[in-house]
Amino acid sequence: MENLIKKYAGKLVEAGLAVSSGPGAPLVGGLDQTMVWNTTAPEIPLLENIFQHLNINSLVFLRPTFPYDRIIRFLAGRALTDGGSILPQDCETRTFLHDLPVVDQFDLHAIVKTLKHRKTVIVQENDPKTGFFGPAVIAPGTVSPEQGFVHISSVCFACFVAFFTNYLAGLKSGLQDPEMDQVFDQVLPFLQNKAPACPDLMHGPFSREQDVYAAMVQTGREIVAHGLVDSYFGNISCCWNNTLYISQTGACLDELTGCIDPVPLDGSSTAGITASSELTAHLETIARTGCQTILHGHPRFCVIASMDCDPAQKAVCAFADRCHTHCPITRHIDSVPIVPGEVGSGPFGLCNTLPAACDTSDSVIVYGHGLFVTGKTDFTQAFSTLTAVEHLCKNRYLEQVQRLKQT
Amino acid sequence: MHGWTGKIARIDLTLRKIDVQPLPPDTCTRYLGGRGMGGLFLQPAATLDWDHPDVPLCLFTGPLTATAAPTSGRCHMVSVSPLTGLMADASLGGKIGVQLKRAGWDGIVITGKSNEPVGIDIKDNHITLVSAKNLWGMTTDAVHQYLNPKKAALACIGPAGENRVGFAAVITDRHHAAGRTGLGMCLGAKNLKYMLVSGTGRTRVKHPEQLKTARQDICRLTAASPALMGRYGFSRMGTGAMYDLMDNRHMMPTDNFAATWFGAAKDLNAAAYARAYSPKNHGCKGCHILCKKIGTRTPAPATPAAGTALPEFETMSHFTALVGLEDIQLVTAANQRCNRLGMDTISAAVTLACFREITQKDFTPASLLALLDDIALDRGEGKALKKGAAAYARSMGQPDAAMAVKGLELPAYDPRGAYGMALGFAMSTRGGCHLRAYPISHEILRKPVATDRFSFSGKARIIKIAEDLNAVVDSLIACKFTFFAAGLEEYAKAFSAVTGQDVTAQDLLAAGERIYYNERIFNSCRGFDARQDDLPARFFTRPGTGASQIRVPPIDRAAFLQAKAAYYSVRGLTPKGLPTRTKAEQLGISWKT
């Protein structure tokens, strides 16, 4: 348990969600027969008490670092005056977290009460008397601290996407919101960076199976390092020798060693039962397009751009409450199509929309979810496209905001 | 009440008397239904022999049964196990749970013993006892054909239950076996051949719109699950989809758990069955996963015909690797034979593997099928085998050859390949059962997140929490497979929508802990303690079959014992594995000495 606690505290720092020391350092606790924490902190006595009230074995506490702190503080403040929960519309929140409840005090009773219903709670309190300052996010696990890590990462991602989505929608609707403007201006420096250079990835075509594995491990690691995916989301595949090599479900892309499933294309094995939820979409796409590699990340501005819809049009749309599955309009960002579709292979799964869209484009955005990119023989071009489309979406977003602010 | 009907039927087969008993709302909230309620009604029989007429045979639905909550169509049977001496319980699939609830009953509690073979016919409020003399001796498929239940649900036993086979099963609606712990023998001891149930009512739901939302949330999660709805998941390939995984992970029990890898496995997987039988989907009432597969063609003469249920993963594995055969048509035939005779395939196969190890006689397909017949019909070598592997091995002076925990034969996951499974097997209140804690979820299928399968670190609490969760699942009732994707968070919403009670996942887990502890108390009254919470010795002394990337060493005995001690501490048991009054009262369980 000690190893896991240290590992996930470290991963929160590596992901840019927390600082490594001081009051902003993440706290990760685990309980088997005895309780262990990754460090000491004044919050720990109360956090430890949570274990007395919930049937859990681990807990993660995080004070998100910039810009997540500003964004979450703003959204949490609004939520406290309006129902008590942040309601992001991205795919991960909709599918796994449902909503993001907020409490206004670092209070055992309030936290426990919320965590009895939901996987996370955001604590908004700022009280000089108690010395507690928020926002902070708390997430328990019943199996591993990885659950807390994943859920807290998802909260940060979802809030980021929700803030920028709402901000653009507000500007388009002509709403004046000085407080939101202020937060936007504060976090703007975080966005103003150039597209990073693409790493030097292994070149294909691959002649040996071990090269396929090595290329996938390397590419997965770079996708995470470039901030193109959070926690254990995203997936990657490579078709080689009539077998699809694909990352396993719930595998962190920066830890793919031992987490890649070889799935024979002839269906002669069910080993793909532990493969990514998007296995079917990958197989269909490869069958239709002849591509050999697929990358799927959750770049933030691709997700934000996918949910950008004209408010006037949305107001009269019969599917306005089901955009993620029923959006009737084929939209594009430049030539990149945006398609609806849920995670997995259900009736509204993206496996029904993504492969066809890949017929005409090597990059496709799935509404509220992320970006899929195909490649020919290796991951070099696909990776380059992944970063380029994200950069494009970010620039388009900022241009729109600038234009709307001027009008 | 919403969710519960608020009444059960008490059926005394000796006196041929039927009484209606109301269920207090507080009891419903505390024990939910299904396994929880069955355990509560069984408690007065804690010190009785399994076949004492006063030992009840309980069949309970749950508050979610016959609602739109996904996978809620099952019900749970509880009694005392003739095989293990522990509390016996098994989940019944098909449509009997839905029909019983629609008939207006939260459950039925059957006591006494009929002086002649009898069936119970339930049509809404009307319960009648019907002579089953003419059905005694019939196989389960023949009973089904004779009674022709149409829309009604039929649960019955075959010759194995009548002939006191320790692992006799109850077969529901032809294809669904409540196999484990010998409940078929409990029916047989009461001279109860069948239960035929039909109902026309509806479960009262407090907030239908909220239930619809909860259903959507659960279905969305299951759609996102590769294990359930993915191309190679249970919905497409059946539970046999696990076969390749166990092969790849080198944890397929082979040659009576002497090895963990079977060379022929790649040709005996779910894909091979799909090619041979072109299966169609089938499932329990109200389920959208439909994991049961029914063959639509007969692949060769003298093999099970189209319309036959294909074997589940456990049967596929144990009737190949465990017994040393390489023939999927034999597996399908053995599965069909066990269902018709009314026997648990897991226990049957492990008992045969034990027989093979002790006698050093290999099976042919024909000799294996013949021995299955002999067991069920109580003849020849079957007479010695019908009491299960543990009793047989003891009788042969080789108790270590029985791959069982507390008398219940082990399923098709070798514990040397998954240490949570090892702990789960040993601690289970049911004996050698993978479903009490179901750690393949995280150790193999990576849900909710992956854990290190070769480590005991953290596993004591993980197993305890999972046991509580699965006690809830068996009591609501839902199918455990759904929990590879959804969680109690979503099912608590469904529960609240149905019952109108504002209940959280943690509240349900608290009920699960109560249900589980109650079972532990029951078993301790029957003399079980830490001595039986153990695994067969070979898992600690012999390695499994490794490969270049996978080492499968023997389980470290000291690490196992440490995890076991941690489990007792987390569960609130003494170091000897016994429940305490303090913990029982903390959980709201009345303590009787």
At A292-307, the pLDDT tens digits run 999 999 999 999 999 9
Query: Residue B296: in which H helix or E strand, if any?
Result: none
Percent of chain B scoring above 90 in pLDDT: 93
For residues A6 and A200, give the distance between their C-alpha atoms in angstroms, rounded to a whole number: 30
The arrangement of secondary structure in A2-191, i.e. its CATH architecture, is 3-Layer(aba) Sandwich (3.40)
Flag whether pLDDT at B25 surpasses 80.
Answer: yes
For residues A294 and B115, give the distance between their C-alpha atoms in angstroms, rounded to a whole number: 69
Residue A233 is predicted with a pLDDT of 85
Residue A230 is predicted with a pLDDT of 80
Which chain B residues are within 8 Å of A368, Cβ to Cβ? none
Mean pLDDT taken over chain B = 96
Of the candidates B492, B576, B494, B561, the one whose C-alpha atom is nearest the C-alpha of residue B528 is B576
Cβ distance A323 to A312 under 8 Å? no
With 0-12 CB in 10 A as exposed, 13-18 as middle and 19+ as buried, what is B283?
buried
First to last CA, chain B: 34
Confidence of residue B574 (pLDDT cuts 50, 70, 90): very high
Residue A323 is predicted with a pLDDT of 86
Mean pLDDT along residues A6-17: 93
Cβ distance B195 to B154 under 8 Å? yes
Summarize pLDDT for B427-441 with one digit per residue, the tens.
999 999 999 999 999
Helix orientation angle between B505-525 and B488-499, rounded to the nearest 10 degrees: 100
Cα A347 from chain centre: 23
Residue B55 is predicted with a pLDDT of 98
Flag whether pLDDT at A232 surpasses 80.
Answer: no
Flag whether pLDDT at A376 surpasses 90.
Answer: yes
Least CB-CB distance to A277: which of B224, B241, B510?
B224
Percent of chain A scoring above 70 in pLDDT: 100
Name the residue in chain B with its Cα closest to that of A3: B457
Which chain A residues are within 8 Å of B455, Cβ to Cβ? none
Tell me how close the Cα of A248 comes to any Cα of chain B, in angstroms: 9
Pairwise CB contact (< 8 Å): A270 & B232? yes
Enumerate the β-bridge partners of residue A236: A295
Pairwise CB contact (< 8 Å): A143 & B448? yes
Task: Pick the range with the lowest mean pLDDT from A122-131, A277-286, B370-379.
Answer: A122-131
Top residue of B219, B317, B443, B449 to mutate, by most chain A CBs within 10 Å, is B449
* Residue extents of the structural domains in chain A: 2-191, 209-406
Q: DSSP 3-state assignment of B203? A: coil
Which chain A residues are within 8 Å of B240, Cβ to Cβ? 270
Provide the 10 A C-beta neighbour count for residue B200: 10
CATH class held by domain B7-198? alpha beta
Name the residue in chain A with its Cα closest to that of B484: A274
Least CB-CB distance to A33: which of B271, B469, B569?
B569
Flag whether pLDDT at A193 surpasses 80.
Answer: no
Q: Are strands A85-86 and A100-103 parallel, antiparallel or unpaired?
A: antiparallel
Tell me how close the Cα of A32 comes to any Cα of chain B, in angstroms: 5
Residue B124 is predicted with a pLDDT of 97
Residue B593 is predicted with a pLDDT of 64
Mean pLDDT along residues B124-131: 97
Mean pLDDT along residues A203-222: 95
Pairwise CB contact (< 8 Å): B245 & A273? yes
Tell me how close the Cα of B455 comes to any Cα of chain A, in angstroms: 10
Flag whether pLDDT at A190 surpasses 90.
Answer: no
Which chain B residues are within 8 Å of A101, Cβ to Cβ? none
Residue A312 is predicted with a pLDDT of 86
Provide the 10 A C-beta neighbour count for residue B201: 14
Least CB-CB distance to A283: which of B231, B446, B457?
B231
Confidence of residue A12 (pLDDT cuts 50, 70, 90): very high
Tell me how close the Cα of B481 comes to any Cα of chain A, in angstroms: 13
Of the candidates B538, B539, B519, B520, the one whose C-alpha atom is nearest the C-alpha of residue B529 is B520
Flag whether pLDDT at B78 surpasses 80.
Answer: yes
List the structure tokens of B106: 């939260």
Pairwise CB contact (< 8 Å): B445 & A274? yes
With 0-12 CB in 10 A as exposed, 13-18 as middle and 19+ as buried, what is B549?
exposed
* Residue extents of the structural domains in chain B: 7-198
Mean pLDDT along residues B240-267: 96
Tell me how close the Cα of B201 comes to any Cα of chain A, in angstroms: 31
Q: What are phi and psi of A329, to 5 degrees?
A: -105, 135
Residue A128 is predicted with a pLDDT of 81
Flag whether pLDDT at A130 surpasses 70.
Answer: yes
Mean pLDDT along residues A35-63: 95
Cβ distance B153 to B96 under 8 Å? yes
Q: Could you check whether the bond before residue A205 is cis, i.e. omega within 30 degrees of 0? A: yes
Mean pLDDT taken over chain A = 92
Enumerate the β-bridge partners of residue A264: A243
Mean pLDDT along residues B104-108: 98
Mean pLDDT along residues B519-535: 97
Enumerate the β-bridge partners of residue A375: A293
Name the residue in chain A with its Cα closest to that of B442: A143
Confidence of residue A92 (pLDDT cuts 50, 70, 90): confident
Pairwise CB contact (< 8 Å): B451 & A248? no
Q: How many residues are given for chain B? A: 593
Tell me how close the Cα of B558 comes to any Cα of chain A, in angstroms: 16
The CA-atom distances, in angstroms, between B501 and each of B102, B207, B371, B492, B496 are 21, 10, 52, 10, 5
Which chain A residues are within 8 Å of B267, Cβ to Cβ? none
Provide the 10 A C-beta neighbour count for residue B128: 12
Least CB-CB distance to A33: which of B231, B506, B566?
B566
Flag whether pLDDT at B414 surpasses 90.
Answer: yes
Enumerate the β-bridge partners of residue A28: A60
For residues A226 and A223, give the distance between their C-alpha atoms in angstroms, rounded to a whole number: 5
Pairwise CB contact (< 8 Å): B226 & A277? yes
Task: Pick the range with the lowest mean pLDDT from A186-190, A229-233, B400-404.
Answer: A229-233
Pairwise CB contact (< 8 Å): B489 & A270? no
For residues B182 and B57, give the distance between their C-alpha atoms in angstroms, rounded to a whole number: 12
Summarize pLDDT for B465-507 with one digit per residue, the tens.
999 999 999 999 999 999 999 999 999 999 999 999 999 999 9
Enumerate the β-bridge partners of residue B59: B77, B108
Q: Is the dihedral of CA B64, B66, B71, B73 positive or negative?
A: positive
Pairwise CB contact (< 8 Å): A95 & B221? yes
Which chain A residues are within 8 Å of B448, Cβ to Cβ? 141-143, 147, 250
DSSP for A164-204, written as a single string: HHHHHHHHHHT---HHHHHHHHHHHHHH--PPPPPP-PPPS
Flag whether pLDDT at B95 surpasses 80.
Answer: yes
Flag whether pLDDT at B137 surpasses 90.
Answer: yes
Top residue of A31, A252, A269 to mutate, by most chain B CBs within 10 Å, is A269
Reply yes or no on domain A209-406 having CATH 3.40.190.10. no
Residue A404 is predicted with a pLDDT of 93
Least CB-CB distance to A117: which of B271, B442, B504?
B504
Flag whether pLDDT at B443 surpasses 90.
Answer: yes
Which chain A residues are within 8 Å of B447, Cβ to Cβ? 249-250
List the structure tokens of B181: 């712990």
Enumerate the β-bridge partners of residue A338: A331, A365
Tell me how close the Cα of B2 comes to any Cα of chain A, in angstroms: 21
Mean pLDDT along residues B330-355: 97
